[in-house]
Amino acid sequence: MISVEEATAIILANAAVLKKRSVPLEEALGQTLAEVIEADRDFPPFDRATMDGIALSYDAFQSGIRTFPIESVQAAGESVGNLNNSSHCIEIMTGAPVPIGTDCIIPYEQLRITNRIADIEVTSVDRGQNIHRQGNDARQGEKLLTPGTLISPAEVALLASVGKTEVLVYELPKAAIISTGNELVDIDQQPMPHQVRKSNSYALQAAWTSLGGTSALFHLDD
């Protein structure tokens, strides 16, 4: 009898090279990726606010200013704005680009706003707080996924974020699942006291199907 390691080596040496095919992103779930996926731009692609509140200059706060007139509003989905007066602030929404001239965000919970004047109610802030910096998750050209990755909902979201409408995947071969043994009977039969149903065949078939493959069941007697 050969060892498990020897058997594995023989199987791998004779394994067929899997074909590749392109599928729409909507059909990629559960498939095995067959290409390298790289970031097509920085992620996030801009300095992004992570809280609703006001964006202001850290240096202005450090100089002792605690009352900031609201100069404008920076909403998500709008092009980046500019702070015209460093002693002012810009009201900002979560997901919006951080305005030029600002480098920290104070959330509404730490403010009192009256007549478009924001009074800060905390004694300290940090430069860059509540800002998700450009490229913090990935840089343009950075490798995000590699061949052999099983595509789950998380990978589908990532593929969509880099603009992949078509995805190259491996085409799994049809497998033959063969059970052996005179003690095994079909699952629709009533086994005798010395027999059992062929449950393992269906477990293996389900596992193969979960990987995107197709299969057929066979049985050999001893």
pLDDT by residue (tens digit) across 80-108? 999 999 999 999 999 999 999 999 999 99
| Structure-derived torsion over alpha carbons of residues 180, 184, 186, 191, reported in degrees to the nearest 10 | 170
pLDDT band at 16 (very low <50, low <70, confident <90, very high): confident
Interval 26-41 mean pLDDT: 96
Does residue 24 have a cis bond before it (omega within 30 degrees)?
no
Alpha carbons within 13 A on the beta-carbon side of 87? 4
| pTM for this entry | 0.75
Identify the pLDDT of residue 212: 75
Contacts of 111 (CB under 8 A, 6+ apart): 53, 54, 118, 119, 120, 121
pLDDT for residue 140: 98
Give the model's pLDDT for residue 152: 95
- What is the distance between the alpha carbons of residues 213 and 26, in angstroms, rounded to a whole number? 18
> What stretches of 81-192 show up as alpha helix (H) in DSSP?
153-161
Which of residues 182 and 65 earns the better pLDDT score? Answer: 65
Of 146, 152, 144, nearest to 41 (Cα)?
A: 144
For residues 42-66, give the mean pLDDT. Answer: 98
The mean of the pLDDT values for the chain is 94
Dist. CA 145–CA 129, nearest whole Å: 30
Write down the pLDDT at residue 201.
93
Burial class (CB in 10 A: 0-12, 13-18, 19+), 40: middle
Residue 14 pLDDT exceeds 80: yes
Query: 20-37 in b/e burial notation, b at 16+ Cβ within 10 A?
Result: eeeeeeeebeebbbbbeb
Average pLDDT on 149-170 reads 97
For residues 222 and 156, the model is more confident at 156
Return d(Cα 185, Cα 29) in angstroms, integer.
35
More confident: 158 or 211: 158
Neighbours of 139 (CB within 10 A): 13
In this prediction, what percent of the chain has a pLDDT beyond 90? 79
Query: Domains in the chain and their CATH numbers?
Result: 48-132 (2.170.190.11), 172-222 (no CATH)
**Which are the contacts of 206, defined by CB distance < 8 A and separation ≥ 6?**
none
> Confidence class of residue 69 from pLDDT cuts 50, 70 and 90?
very high
What is residue 17's predicted lDDT score, i.e. its pLDDT? 80
